[in-house]
A and B are shown apart, each in its own frame.
Chain A
Amino acid sequence: MNALNATKTKTASRFTWPAWGWSLIGVLGVWLCIIAVGGGNPGGPVLQALSLAPYLVLVSIGQMLVISLGPGNIDVSVGAIVSMASYVSVAVGALAGPLAGLAAAVLAGVAAALLSVIAIMLLRVPPIIATLATSLVVASATLLLADANRAGADAALRGFVNARVFGIPVTAILVAVLTVLIALALKRTMYGLSVAAIGQSTLAARKAGLRVTSTIVTTYLLSGAFAGLAGGLLAAYISPSTVLGDSYLLDSIAVVVLGGTLIAGGRPVVAGLWTGAVFFVLLSSLLNLVGWNLGAQNVLKGLLVVVVIVISSRVTKTGRSTLSRFLSSLRREPAATPTPADTPALTKENTHA
């Protein structure tokens, strides 16, 4: 317990930054590179990124909530849901107006997530398998919808997603408001507390009297809903397509991780979704600028995610990271000397961490 005072003075005296600090540095770095390589108006690339990033942020909100539920929780059906929802939005929108179209897209996402929830909660299928199965079902539905439907998005919706206020896309503003609400909900509602608690220990969450089952169900349904909304909007911003959502699966996971959310669960970082998403979009434009092809870009993205996971697992603890902790993790390999005799499988006692 004396170690406690030490930790306190340490963190107080040294510079600490939030978990999304790393991706913010990434954003600034890539932005400077773009200006250096491409020249032109320095605000241009950022405004451009802000028109694409909101969709990625939307999908990533759901992914972040799911990942925060703890080890094993992931939603690999978001990509397929985005594609399907784009057709649903257009088809229903043509019949009943753009708002109804968006609502239908969200509902379609929820319906797809319901399949995953049934598999996960009732049949006890691991989430990665359950959502993979859902995405196959959804992909088939998308093909059917694509055959039946050749319409384009409603003009009003198209106008809405392209609208700008002082040069900033309206969608970016609205999604920003949404992320603030999500951040508030995570800090201050029973649902938010439960997500973080379940991610740290489902067993402990049950014993603390939290509603574990309903929280997990809600989270997967929300993930489906956000993916559906993103698909519905993308149908107007780009156009419905069977491969529209493909990149959103891996990108959403990457954004969540880059943003500082713990991949092991228990600590969602909402602000990091924006820094992560903007970083990704900017990175793509930089690589396009210098002439990398899509395959090479994906290799780089994959490497980035691995590097970030390795670094963050060493550096961060309970939400704060320090540069000195990072440097010390590079200097000293963790206890290379084996214990003389007794190497316990797990040393849980960690009072003086």
Chain B
Amino acid sequence: MTQVTTLAPPPASSGAPHGAPSRIRVRGIVKEYGVTRALRGVDLDVAAGEIHGLVGHNGAGKSTLMRILTGIEQPTSGTVEFDGDGAATAATSARPGDVRMAYQELSLAPDLTVAENASLSDARRLRPLRWRAQAERRIAEVLDTVFPGHGIELSRYVGELSMAERQVVEISRALCSDEPRLLILDEPTESLGVDAMRQMYAHLHVLAARGVSILLISHRMNEVLEHSDRISVLKDGATVLTADAGDVTEDDLLVAMGGDVRGDSPRVHDVPVVGDAVAGSGERPAAGETVATASLAGASLPFEAKAGEIVGLAGLAGQGQDELLDRLWFNGLSRRITVPRRRAYVPGDRQTSGVFALWTVADNLAVAAARQLARAGFVSLKARRTLADRWVGTLSIKGGASAPITSLSGGNQQKVLIARAFATDAPLVLLNDPFRGVDVATKDELYTLMKAEAAQGRCIVWYSTENKEVAHCDRVYVFRAGRIVSELVGDEISEERVIAESFDEHQDARDARDATTKDAGAAA
């Protein structure tokens, strides 16, 4: 991300963390759910006009803390003071509109339009007649200020928007109200394009300069380090470190988070055993054999994936990577696509197209492999259970095979979905940006698993919005405007290269525009 961050404006001298009175003062917050302590004594101070970074692994208690700050839940003990007025929680002391939050899981109703969604949580009144126009004007104002050139139609249903557009709307929704005193952003950049990300951070600095306190939660250490004034680290439900952003490095933070997160996980040695268990029944092709091909419309390079390799689909979000994965998955009757009969898919949007919420971990894990376990249409419960147990063990999925899937944290749910795909004997595994909001240690384990699986002859096609992840690929196709514009192999693969290839389009567009204006000028 080094290239990206240099594009962003230098942090404005926003707020004075030292000496300034605390906007929000959290002391000794404990939150218990039954016998479990989700938070065991959190202290946190956010000054007026400060951008405060908050980092921690999945399950460290960030989400719980945010629910308490926004007043959705009450702490078991401890106090939250808002601007020094000594009240017990933000819920009672803050006036409507004081605390705003953009949620990681996106709090948008898919069957409402952009404007309707924004007006739902807007504290300001709407006039009784022609309110829709007023609501549209309000959200348009925010969108145009924060994300100029966003290109989002306000009358579209949110369900029709791409993930990146939804994230833009979610952030704008949080800003669409009276100016808040505290703004909380939970993983705001996970699916944001580079442009939008830059615009968002620029606006955050403007807001901070106006005195708004901002709490920034992110797994992307470099962004937190670059844009925060101070950073707090949450570990196992307590704050373990608070420091000025200038005084800490990425490594410091990772160490404080408790991760031995560097390097390959030792689990790499366990993995092949799992693979073999299912591989026997499969139609696994020999390494190097072509597994899937596709030819895309227009002046696109052809797509090809071979057994034993990890093929990355990179580029800006929403440039056609989704469409290619969908075509490889559903196949249809197109003659321009060849895929093996057995395929597996790991969805990125685990809430809507991933987990089966009523089922246990084991049921969720074994559902895709059930067909190959079936004998004469019957799937043995024992075979499913054995398979699930083995994967739960290998990926150390917390909670065990018989836990309800919804009791797992997001990272662990994602592990289940990955295991679901790799538990099948499919020679082709498609991944649709599955590591959104997954913590570093988990990602590391899953990368290792993917490499081990590929080494056994599995072909993995992986769409990622995180450019850093291309480092784990054997080959990378960069997408732009629905086409494959470049293929990177081996040493050519780097974040910088991917970013450069993704952005040429802007150059193209400018060239095209220049050409048309010139033509128009000539015609005139």
Tell me whether A341 and B343 are in contact in the complex, defined as CB-CB below 8 angstroms, given that A1-B398, A3-B36, A8-B403 are known contacts.
no
Which B residues from 26 to 60 make CB contacts under 8 A with A?
33-38, 58-59
B89 to chain A, nearest CB (A): 9
Q: A6-B34, A193-B379 are contacts. A341–B351 as well, Cβ < 8 Å?
A: no
For B344, the chain A residues whose CB sits under 8 A away are 209
Binary contact track B105-130/A, C-beta < 8 Å → 1, others 0: 11111001000010011010000000
Q: Is B238 an interface residue (CB 8 A)?
A: no
Known: A1-B412, A2-B37, A3-B407. A341 touches B94 (CB 8 A): yes
> Is the C-beta of B293 less than 8 angstroms from some C-beta in chain A?
no
Stretch at the interface among B95-103, B204-212, B461-469: B95-103
Task: Report yes or no: B71 in contact with A266, Cβ–Cβ below 8 A.
Answer: no
Contact A348 B407 (CB under 8 A): no
Cα distance, A342 to B105, chains bound together (Å): 15
A340 close to B59 (CB less than 8 A) = no
Given the complex of chains A and B, what is the CA–CA distance between A351 and B103 in angstroms? 14
Complex Cα distance, B347 from A344, in Å, reads 24
Task: List residues of chain B with CB within 8 A of the CB of A41.
Answer: none
Binding site for B on A (CB under 8 A): 1-10, 187-191, 193, 196-197, 200-201, 203-210, 262, 266-267, 318-319, 335, 337, 339-353
Query: Do residues B371 and A209 form an inter-chain contact, with CB atoms below 8 A?
Result: yes
Main secondary structure of the interface of B (DSSP, over half): loop
User: Do A210 and B367 have beta carbons less than 8 Å apart?
Assistant: yes
Is there an interface contact between B358 and A319, defined as CB atoms closer than 8 Å?
yes
**Are B121 and A200 touching (Cβ within 8 A)?**
no
- Whether the pair B356, A1 counts as a contact (CB closer than 8 A) is no
Tell yes or no: B64 within 8 A of A by CB: yes
Residues of chain B within 8 A of A203, CB atoms compared? 352-353
- A11: shortest Cβ distance to chain B, in Å? 9
Evaluate contact between A196 and B105: CB separation under 8 angstroms.
no
Q: Is A318 in contact with B378, judged by CB distance below 8 angstroms? A: no
Please name 9 pairs of A and B residues whose Cβ atoms are closer than 8 Å in the assembled complex, sorted by A: A2-B37, A189-B377, A189-B378, A318-B404, A340-B70, A341-B98, A342-B121, A348-B107, A352-B33
Q: A7-B404, A207-B347, A351-B63 are in contact. List 19 more A-B contacts (CB 8 A).
A: A1-B58, A2-B33, A4-B36, A189-B377, A190-B374, A201-B356, A205-B356, A207-B353, A266-B358, A318-B404, A337-B91, A340-B70, A340-B98, A341-B97, A342-B70, A343-B121, A346-B107, A350-B406, A352-B64
The answer for the CA separation of A343 and B70 in the assembled complex, in Å, is 9
B101 contacts A196, CB within 8 Å? Answer: no
Are B398 and A4 interface neighbours, CB within 8 A? yes
B residues near A9, Cβ cutoff 8 Å: 34-35
Q: How far is the CA of A348 from the CA of B355 in the complex (A)?
A: 13
Name the one of A188, A201, A340 contacting B380, with C-beta atoms under 8 angstroms: A188
Residues of B within 8 A of A266 (CB): 356-358
On chain A, the residues within 8 Å of B459 by CB distance are: none
Question: What does the 1/0 interface line of B60-85 toward A look like (CB < 8 Å)?
Answer: 00011000001110000000000000
Contact A344 B371 (CB under 8 A): no
Cβ contact within 8 Å between B120 and A343: yes
* Chain B residues in 8 Å Cβ range of A5: 35-36, 399
B177 x A341 contact (CB < 8 A): yes
Does chain A have a CB within 8 A of B155? no
Is A200 a contact partner of B357 (Cβ separation < 8 A)?
yes
B420 CB within 8 Å of chain A: yes
Which residues in A have their C-beta under 8 angstroms from that of B167?
A: none
Q: Which residues of B contact A262 (CB under 8 A)?
A: 358
Query: Do A335 and B72 touch across chains, with their CB atoms under 8 A apart?
Result: yes
Measured between C-beta atoms, what is the minimum distance from A199 to chain B in Å? Answer: 8
| B residues 420-466 touching A (CB-CB < 8 Å) | 420, 424
B180 contacts partner chain A, Cβ-Cβ < 8 Å: yes
Q: Max chain B CB contacts within 10 Å: which of A187, A200, A204, A346? A: A204
